[in-house]
Structure 1
Amino acid sequence: MTTINHDHPLIYYHGRWDSSPGTWWAGSGFKINALNLHSLIVILGEHTTAPCAPIAVSVDNSEFFTMNASAGAHYIPLPESTKATPSVVRINVEGWQNNRIHLDSIMYNSSKDAILLPYRPSKLAFQFIGDSLSAGQFLPLGVNQAWPFIVGERYKAEHRINAQPGATLTDIVSYGNVHGVSYQYFRTEDTGFYYTSDHNFTTPWNFSRDRPSATHIVIHIGANDASQGITGDQFVQVYSDFLERLRKVYPKQPIFIFTPWGWPNEDAPTYYYYPGQYEKIVNTRKAKGDKNIFLVDTIGWVGMSDVYSDNKHPNVEGHQNIANHFTAWLENWGLSP
């Protein structure tokens, strides 16, 4: 067997990893590309979530399957077809919390017959920013069943999902989050850092590590701000300031601002928070000369059959429905899968 350490240049990391290296945020992971691969073992270190962190594995664009990973060695099952052609193995954390894996090393069959190759990322890269409605909270397979992940897969794109359940955009304490997304998005760690004894601090995220840089930015946020009593005027100001900071990272990329699809009700109309405020946010940017910002009107995308009745978050079918709507919107905008 051949062993490569976590710092091997042919391991392609995506999402947010700290220096250990360990994952933060749902969907973070890595990819490897190899020829004649027929044995693969991933060895995880001590900072992996105990007792385990669910990970999703895909080989050559197969459907992802779930493994419960803990510190130690994990044999990754491979199909017979990997022995003859170059094979890409993709691994990411599924969970919206307790989702840290600490990569120590990777073992594969002897370098005499297996050859590690560069992974060539897609030129299309989505950056999704949000809260529980984008992170896959309550879904059986977590973020891998969430609409951002589905959209990224349909476009065969690189996709990064920085979504924090319970978090506001405003930088306040909210549902166990000690910071809002307007702060946390620019950090390596998600807000779980606060509860992690071996890593209870934050570090700035180096956006040059995103390879390639995001080509399209998608934002759906605000439900928790409304729940925490942030007024419409306050929300518009926070969102506008956040977009100013984003433009320093992504000066020309299209930014898609979702309106709320709201909270459906059995016996009452759907509740939409901050009516008219998202339009104001987008129009203010356009008035400043930003020609690459777009409002995505999601009203009517989600009904009672699309959500869990006890918490109103999208269910599996609901996330698929949202992905269908957004894919159709993007196609109409001019971006085809």
Structure 2
Amino acid sequence: MRILPILSLALSCVSATILENGQPRLDPYPGQARLLKSGLDDAWKTFEPDAEEISYKGRWDEQHISWWSAPGVKFAFTGQKLALSFGEHTVNGVLVAYRLGGQDWQFANVTANDAYQFVGPWTTGVNLTEATAPKTFELRVTNWAYGYLAGVSVAHNASIHKIDPFPKMVEVIGDSLSSGDFATYEGLSSWAYLFAAGLGNVEYHLTAYPGVCLHDQNCWGNPRGQSYQWYRTSDTSPRAAEIYGEDPPKWDFEAQQPADLVVINLGTNDNNIANNVSAADYYNDYIELVGNIHEIWPEAQIVLMSLWGGFSASGITYAQGPLFVEEIRDVYEYFQAQGDFVHYFDTTGILQHNDIAPQWHPTDVGHVKAAAHFMQWVKIKFGWEMEATGPMVHSGTLYWNDQDIY
């Protein structure tokens, strides 16, 4: 769903205020990497962005520019300091999240053509292992306005190491509801990220972007729909149009770890009267998308997630208005005769009126509820275990009340 012009939100960064129940969060950006104003000297050893030790998470193009929701990098390093450099296509001030091992997420605003030190003697946990022992570093973009990685630097006598991927892969295909639009930390507050990261033993690609439709038409400023764009490396942002024009590169599915689970949450924008996609076009495009996914990943389980819609006044209470209910059920029924690889997850009743924020998107709590219910459903349905039993997943949720009298 999309209410505001897409361009203004696609370029959101540190100038935005992180709110907590309508009040500014006291410590909205813990961490803040240190800008290396003098650049990198001989005390650093630098690895190019195409170093085989660096694992790219999500969709990145050949220039090492990232796209879609919550893309990132992950690797191990030795020593006690680490810096990353960012190239010219970085959106100035974009907010990234980073962490050492399973420590809490920290945040930093980065700018094009600059280098930042993310780890140093001040970093929590850096002294918990020997300097020569590899430590895991992970960086994720909080939204969909990043730019390319130009290099990774460590101490002159240190090194970086590749981390083996998790055995399973999750692909989420969605719009703003899956990419965390209007949530506190956008992609890192979305149900899609919370679900995948919460499982703890899976890789994930969150191929979601605000305002996009399933049907291939202009929706809220997005020139193409997911029935076209999902097969491309880049998203539908103005930045992508500036770099690639009208011919973005195709995504090389064969070069990637195949998906074990594909989750589709699309149609909220199609259903909006501003875009006015017909039920027939939506249904036919959905059938084609699922069929193509099955051809690309014949072993993947495909989950059609129902659209929760919004809530409207009903007497002295509120009533939920789910969208394209019959159409999504019909897509599910269509594939039942072809084998047991398409499933239906009904979101009705998971979210309540106060789980939807003023901009018609889930609150942080709403995203947590959707993710938690879906995690349990996947565990029961497919036998997947939840193995994230320690590392931080959702940042900014350490709220408590230490008053016993009030």
Q: Same fold (TM over 0.5)?
A: yes
Partners of 2:325 and 2:229 lie apart in 1 by 26
Report what 1:230 is aligned to.
277
Shift of 1:193: 4.7
Q: Matches of 1:109 and 1:259 in 2, distance apart?
A: 49
1:34-113 pair list within 5 angstroms: 34=77, 36-49=78-91, 51-71=92-112, 72-77=114-119, 78=123, 79-81=126-128, 83=131, 85-96=133-144, 99-110=145-156, 112=157
C-alpha separation in 2, matches of 1:5 and 1:84: 21
- Choose the corresponding residue for 2:354, options 305, 308, 312: 305
Displacement of 1:232 in angstroms is 2.1
1: CA distance, partners of 2:308 / 2:298:
28
Q: Which residue of 1 aligns with 2:171?
A: 127
Counterpart pick for 1:269 among 295, 308, 319 = 319
Q: CA deviation at 1:27?
A: 1.0
Distance 1:194 1:101 in 2: 9
RMSD: 1.6
Which residue number corresponds to residue 61 of structure 2? 18
The equivalences for 1:177-192 within 5 A come to 177-192=222-237
Deviation at 1:28, TM superposition (A): 1.2
The amino acid across from 1:61 in the alignment is G
Code of the aligned partner of 1:218: V
Deviation at 1:141, TM superposition (A): 0.8
Counterpart residue type for residue 233 of structure 2? T
For 1:121 and 1:61, the matched residues in 2 are separated by: 16
Say if 2:47 and 2:153, in contact at 8 Å, map to a contact too: yes
Superposition TM-score, scaled by structure 2 size: 0.78
What does the per-residue CA deviation read over 1:3-48, in whole Å, with 9 as the maximum and x for residues that have no partner?
11011111111111122221111111111112x3311010111111
CA distance in 1, matches of 2:373, 2:353: 16
- Are the aligned partners of 1:167 and 1:177 in contact in 2 as well (CA < 8 Å)? yes
> Percent of aligned pairs with the same residue?
24
**TM-score in terms of structure 1 length:** 0.93
Which of 302, 316, 320 does residue 368 from structure 2 map onto?
Answer: 320
| CA contact 1:164–1:181 (8 Å) conserved in 2 | no
Query: Are 1:239 and 1:281, in contact at CA under 8 Å, matched by a contact in 2?
Result: yes
Tell me if structure 2 keeps the 8 A contact 1:29–1:91.
yes
Moved over 6 A (4+): none
Asked if 1 retains the 8 angstrom alpha-carbon contact of 2:261 and 2:301, the reply is yes
More helix by share: 1
> Displacement of 1:85 after TM fit?
3.5
The CA deviation string for residues 137-188 of structure 1, in whole angstroms up to 9 with x for no partner, is 0112110011111111111121110111111100000001000011111001
Q: How does 1:162-173 map to 2 (within 5 A)?
A: 162-173=207-218
* Greater Cα offset, 58-67 or 100-109: 58-67
How many aligned positions are there?
Answer: 328
Contiguous gaps of at least 5 residues in structure 2: 1-43, 387-406
